[in-house]
Amino acid sequence: MKFHGITKLLTLFIPVIALLQFTTRLPLGKEQDFSAFARASWLYPVAGYVTGGITAGVLLLLPFSPDTSAAAALVLLLLLSGANHFDGLLDLGDGLMAHGDQKKRVAALTDRAVGAGGVTAGISVILLSYASLASTNSPFLLAGFVLCGEVLSRYAMAVMTVTARPFHDGIHAFLHSHAKKWFIPASTLLLVPLFCLPIISLIFPLLLLTTLVVTGGMQRMAYRVFWGANGDIIGATGEIVRCMVFLVSALAGIVF
C-alpha cells in the first residue's frame, strides 16, 4: 500500500516533468509522454517559477553590478530554455516583415531560416529587456522582476494555448486540442505566490494587466496576419510578454 501511494504521488509529477522537458534544458532523466503535459498545459507558470527562480537565485548569490546582472539574467534565461521560445520570436519577426499576402507571411513564419526580420525582433526584445533590468539598482528587486517576468510569460502561453485558434497541425494544435476552458482560472491561481513578494505585490495588478493586454494583442495580430497561431507565435508571445513585464517593472520601480 505504501509503495502504491508513492507511485501514485510520482505519477502526479509526470505532467510537470513533461512540461519542464518541453520548456527547459534541465537534465530530468527519461523523457516523459508529451501528452501528459498537453492534458495539463495550465501548469505552464510552473516552468516560470523554475527557470525564474534559478536565475533569481544566481543574481542574489553573485555580487554583480546592475549592468552585469541584467546581461547574466538574460543569458541564463536563454540557456535554461534552450532558446526554444526565442526561436519562435525570430520566426515571428520574419513573418511580420515578409512582403506579400498571408500565404507568403505564413511561409516566412514557418521557414527554418532566420532573416532580417527575425534578427530585428530578437535584438529589439533583448535590448529592451536588458535596459529595463539594468535600470534596477536593487538586487532583490531585480530578482523579483526576473521571477515575475518568467512566470507571467508562461502564463501568457497558457492563455494562448487555450484561446488561440491554430492555423495548421503542429505542437500548438496538439496542445490546443487538449486544452479546456478551466485551464485559464487554474493557471491564474498559480500566480498567487507572486503576491507574497515584497514590492512586486504592489505593482502585480499592473503587471498582470500588461500581460493580458499584450497576450490579447498578439492573438489579434495572429488572426489578422497569419489566419491563426502556431507554436512560434505562442513562444514569441512569452518572450514579448516577459520583455514588457520587465519594462513596466522598471518604470514602476523608479516610482517606488
Instruction: Encode pLDDT of 163-205 as tens digits.
Output: 999 998 899 999 999 999 999 999 999 999 998 887 788 899 9
Determine the pLDDT at residue 192.
94
Determine the pLDDT at residue 4.
46
- Tell me, yes or no, whether 133 lies in a domain: yes
Determine the pLDDT at residue 5.
46
CA end-to-end span of the chain? 54
The whole-model pTM stands at 0.93
Nearest-angstrom CA–CA distance, 17 and 11: 10
DSSP designation for 103: H
Mean pLDDT of the chain: 90
Outline where the chain has alpha helix (H).
2-12, 14-23, 34-38, 44-61, 66-81, 84-97, 102-110, 116-134, 139-163, 171-178, 183-189, 200-226, 231-255
Instruction: Encode pLDDT of 44-60 as tens digits.
Output: 999 999 999 999 999 99
- Tell me, yes or no, whether 157 lies in a domain: yes
Nearest-angstrom CA–CA distance, 123 and 197: 30
- Tell me, yes or no, whether 171 lies in a domain: yes
**What percentage of residues in the chain have a pLDDT greater than 70?**
94
Could you tell me which residue, 110 or 131, shows the higher pLDDT?
131
- Tell me, yes or no, whether 143 lies in a domain: yes
Domain count, the chain: 1
Determine the pLDDT at residue 30.
85
Cell numbers standing for residue 146: 526576473
- Tell me, yes or no, whether 33 lies in a domain: no
Could you tell me which residue, 62 or 51, shows the higher pLDDT?
51
Instruction: Assign 111 a pLDDT band (cuts: 50, 70, 90).
Output: confident
- Tell me, yes or no, whether 32 lies in a domain: no
Q: Which three-class secondary structure state does DSSP give residue 45? A: helix
- Tell me, yes or no, whether 26 lies in a domain: no
Cell numbers standing for residue 49: 517559477
Q: What DSSP string runs through 114-177?
A: --HHHHHHHHHHHHHHHHHHHT---HHHHHHHHHHHHHHHHHHHHHHHHHPPBSSSSHHHHHHH
Choose from 8-12, 80-84, 196-200 the range with maximum mean pLDDT: 80-84
Which residues form the domain of 201? 42-255
**Which residues make beta-bridge pairs with 229?**
166
Determine the pLDDT at residue 98.
87
The answer to whether the CB of 149 falls within 8 A of the CB of 155 is no
Instruction: Assign 123 a pLDDT band (cuts: 50, 70, 90).
Output: very high
- Tell me, yes or no, whether 13 lies in a domain: no
How far, in whole angstroms, is CA 202 from its chain's centroid? 22
